[in-house]
Structure formats: structure tokens, C-alpha cells
Amino acid sequence: MNYIFAFLILFSLICAVYTGKLDTVMTSALASAGRAVELAIALIGVMAFWLGIVNIAKKSGLTNVFSKIIKKPLLLLFPDLKNNNEALSNITLNISANALGLMNAATPFGIKAMESMQRKNPEKEKATNSMCTFLAINTAGFQLVPAMVIAILASNNMENPQIIIIPTLIVTSIAFLSAIFFVKILEGFFK
């Protein structure tokens, strides 16, 4: 992350000198810093609502029931979560909510999963293998139906926007599997 962060900024500054856009780059940098805060504030309400619902499910024992069902297959992906049922069930709920295109509901489950993994993490500032696997799966963005994109195409009067469903499903599955592949291959090289 240190290298990516420094690279993005330094490369942008060099390009900006080359293209003569230094002032626009600085203005937009500061403007987007402001937007980042606005975005976080805008998240509070939705996040609070879903965290409330998630907590009801957790306290009633529903998440535990859920985790017992899917524990075995998930342990293949997350072997170090053997004794962390809470994380496993939140991971499942996150992946299912994402698959159904419920981003708002998926995020709190994902954060809860991260929190329960963090509780057993000996080094609090460094990601564990399971955290990295879980993150990579999420960045691949597996989704059964790309509802938002279809809505955009439909609102622009595309004749049959649903033709993108099958190709998108194939591509997102390939990306999903390759995320798992890469994260497992790389995990030995980044201690």
C-alpha cells in the first residue's frame, strides 16, 4: 500500500507537470478530500440501520445457526477461522447479500466479519490471511444480476439491456475465481 499510494501521487504529479495541469490536480485533490468526508457522513444512517438489524440477528443466535450450515465449505477458503463461527457466518451473509446486489446490506456484514477476525488477530495493524482472502473476494464483486448497470442502460432506452446478464455473470465468475487463486498464491510471499 505504501508503494501504491506514493506511486499514484508522484506519477500524477509528474504527469501534471508534463500536461501543465498542476493547479487542477491540486484543486481536485483537496476537493475530493472534502468529498471523502461527505461520503463517510452519508454512510452513517444506512450503516447504523443495517448494523442494528445485524445485531438483532447476532444476539438471537440466528447467525450461529447459519454458520453451522456453511462451515465446512468455507473453511477451505478460510482455514484459520476454524474457531470463529461469527466471522464465518458474517462472511456468508456478506457474500450472499453481494451476490443478490444488496450492497448496502452487504457492507455491514462485511465489516462485522472483519471485526470478528480482528479480535483474534495478534498484530492489529496487519491483515491476516483470511482478511486478505475475504477482501479479495469482495473486490471481485461477484453479483448474479448487475441491476444497477441494467437500470442505467434501460434508462438510456437500450432495446434489450438484459443481454448483458449472461456475459457479465461469466466474467464476474472468472474474476471471482481468479481473485481466490491470486490471493492464495500470493499469501506466502507477503509475510
Partner 1 sequence: MIKILNNLSVFILPFMIAFILIFALFKKAPVYENFIDGAKEGFSIATRIIPYLVAIMVCTAMFRESGAIDIIEKILSPVLNYFKVPSETTLIMLTRSLSGSATLGVLGDIINQSGVNSYAVKLAAVITGSSETTFYVASVYFGSIGIKKFRHALLAGILADVVGIVAAVWVCSIFFL
**Which CB sits closer to partner 1, 81 or 131?**
131
Q: Is 85 in the site for partner 1 (CB under 8 A)?
A: no
Q: Which of 67, 89, 90, 107 binds partner 1 (CB under 8 A)?
A: 107
Q: Is 49 in the site for partner 1 (CB under 8 A)?
A: yes
Residues 29-48 that bind partner 1 (CB under 8 A): 29-33, 35-37, 39-41, 43-45, 47-48
CA distance 40 to 43: 5
**56 binding partner 1? (CB under 8 A):** yes
Q: Is 174 exposed, middle or buried (0-12, 13-18, 19+ CB in 10 A)?
A: exposed
Tell me if 88 contacts partner 1 by CB under 8 A. no
Distance between CA atoms of 151 and 164, rounded to whole angstroms? 12
Give the one residue of 75, 79, 115, 120 binding partner 1; rule: CB under 8 A. 115
Question: Does residue 61 touch partner 1 according to CB under 8 A?
Answer: yes
Residue 123 contacts residue 77 (beta carbons within 8 Å): no
Nearest to partner 1 of 33, 76 (CB atom): 33
In angstroms and rounded to an integer, the radius of gyration of the C-alpha atoms of the chain is 20
Task: Look at phi and psi of residue 147 and say left if phi exceeds 0, alpha if psi is from -120 to 50, else beta.
Answer: alpha
Candidate ranges 68-76, 78-86, 147-155; the one touching partner 1 (CB under 8 A): 147-155
Among 87, 88, 91, 131, binds partner 1 (CB under 8 A): 131
Q: Which of 113, 12, 124 is nearest to 70 (CA)?
A: 113
Q: How far apart are CA 91 and CA 133, in angstroms?
A: 11
Task: Check binding of 74 to partner 1 (CB under 8 A).
Answer: no
